Amino acid sequence: MTEPDSVHRLLRRPHRQRRHYHAPLAVIMIIVLITLLAPALAPYDPRHAVSGGYLLPPSAEHIFGTDTLGRDVLSRTLWGGRQTLSTALLATAITIIPGLLIGAVSGFTGHWVDRAMMAAMDTLLAFPNLLLALVIIALIGTGANQVALSVGMAGLPAFARVARAAVLDARHRLYVQAAWAIGAPPHRVLIHHILPNIMETLLSFAAVSLSWALLNGTALFFLGFGGDPSIPDWGVMLNEGRAAFRVAPWIALPPGMTITLTVFAVNRIADSWQDALNGR
């Protein structure tokens, strides 16, 4: 009775996914490609003033104009993407690798290990994400890597929670119990039976983590925690542009729009993966 229905859903799945996430994925790919090619694409040096002056409005020569210190905004936006995206990716790695480890061990082991680890995670979860990142950066000092570390650490408790819940859920499935029954050792059960089956949940939450990392990372750069202010970053540019917004709105717009576009696209991907999961 249920057989035809589930077969039908499985058949439909690729189509549902394609419809939802191919467009945002293409956007991400384009942004990543452009920022990777920034050294070749950027018409000017992002850190040095062009001769001819500061606060030049957009023109054929400077498509997005120049900023308060006379630097080409387009070049800075392209280079800034490298900094922003690499910080966000590093932060996401710092979130998901230890987060997965803590969540899996906690959910799989249970008992006091689970309670102790989750108590620690819950304590951290009590703080809003960005506040936690601010506290950590206040402790470890300013710098691009420090921003990635603090943003990554701030996202860790939530990811550990999600990973634990997924492991707990999978632990009671029939196929896991079957694996136990044939005498599979614990690490084999975890790695070969549980993890592959919760991968989609984790991936979809990893995408959510990435969009948090993007927003929180640019927020910390915006606030001046990036260490070297001459490193172009979308958050840094947004702050510079904000100070001059009434005189030169063209400085803040490109980084503002690219941040929005990137976060939106990443969120769409996370959503569509989530939809695909729920639809299964």
Partner 1 sequence: MNRLFITALVVLLFLAACTGPEANEPPGPRIVYGLSLMPSGFDPHINASAELGIPLRSVYDTLVYRDPITGEFVPGLASHWEMSPDGLSYTFYLREDVHFHDGTPFNANAVAVNLDRITAPETGSQKARFMLGPISGYEVIDAYTIKLNFTEPYAPLLDSLSQVYLGIASPAQLAQYDNATYQFHQVGTGPYRMVEYVPGDRLVLTRNEDYLWGPSFYVAPEHPIQTIEFRFFEDPPTRALALESGDAQIMGEIQPIDAQLLAGNPNLRLYPVPIPGQPLQFLMNTRRFPTDSHTVRQALIYATNRAAIVDAVFQRFSPVAYGPLSQVTDFYTPDVAGYYPYDPGQAQSLLFTAGFTETNEDGILVIPTGPAEGTETPALTPTAEPVTAGVPLEVTAIVPPWGLTPQVAQILQSQWRTIGIDLRIRQVAGFSQLREAAQSGDYNLISLNFFGKDPDVLAQFFMTDAPLNWTGYSDFELDTYLSEGARQPDPATRESMYAAAQIRIMEQALILPIRDYINLNGTTATIQNVQFDSQGWFPLLYNFSILTPGDGN
Q: How many residues bind partner 1 (CB under 8 A)?
A: 24
Q: Interior CA angle at 147 toward 141 and 150, to 5°?
A: 85
Minimum distance, C-beta of residue 215 to partner 1, in the bound complex (Å): 20
Residue 131 binding partner 1, by CB under 8 A: no
Distance of alpha carbon 251 from the chain centroid:
24
The whole-angstrom separation of Cα 214 and Cα 217 is: 5
Residue 141 binding partner 1, by CB under 8 A: yes
Residue 243 binding partner 1, by CB under 8 A: yes
The whole-angstrom separation of Cα 25 and Cα 39 is: 23
Helices 73-109 and 144-171, packing angle to 10 deg: 40
Contact 226, 88 (CB under 8 A): no
Residue 224 binding partner 1, by CB under 8 A: yes
Residue 225 binding partner 1, by CB under 8 A: yes
Residue 181 binding partner 1, by CB under 8 A: no
Of 30, 229, 260, 280, the residue at the interface with partner 1 (CB under 8 A) is 229
Selection from 129, 171, 170, 164 nearest residue 150 by Cα: 129
Of 16, 25, 54, 275, the residue at the interface with partner 1 (CB under 8 A) is 54
Selection from 204, 209, 226, 115 nearest residue 154 by Cα: 209
Q: Please report, as residue ranges, which positions from 65 to 104 form the binding site for partner 1 (by CB under 8 A).
A: 68-70
Minimum distance, C-beta of residue 225 to partner 1, in the bound complex (Å): 7
Minimum distance, C-beta of residue 126 to partner 1, in the bound complex (Å): 23
Residue 226 binding partner 1, by CB under 8 A: yes
Residue 111 binding partner 1, by CB under 8 A: no
Contact 89, 152 (CB under 8 A): no
CB-neighbour burial class of residue 226 (10 A; exposed 0-12, middle 13-18, buried 19+): buried
SS3 assignment, position 63: coil
Of 13, 124, 168, 227, the residue at the interface with partner 1 (CB under 8 A) is 227
Of 32, 34, 41, 49, the residue at the interface with partner 1 (CB under 8 A) is 49
Structure tokens at 66: 């120049």
Minimum distance, C-beta of residue 65 to partner 1, in the bound complex (Å): 14
- State which residue, 141 or 185, has the beta carbon closest to partner 1: 141
- State which residue, 59 or 230, has the beta carbon closest to partner 1: 230
**Residue ranges that bind partner 1, judged by CB under 8 A:** 47-49, 54, 68-70, 138, 141-143, 224-230, 242-247
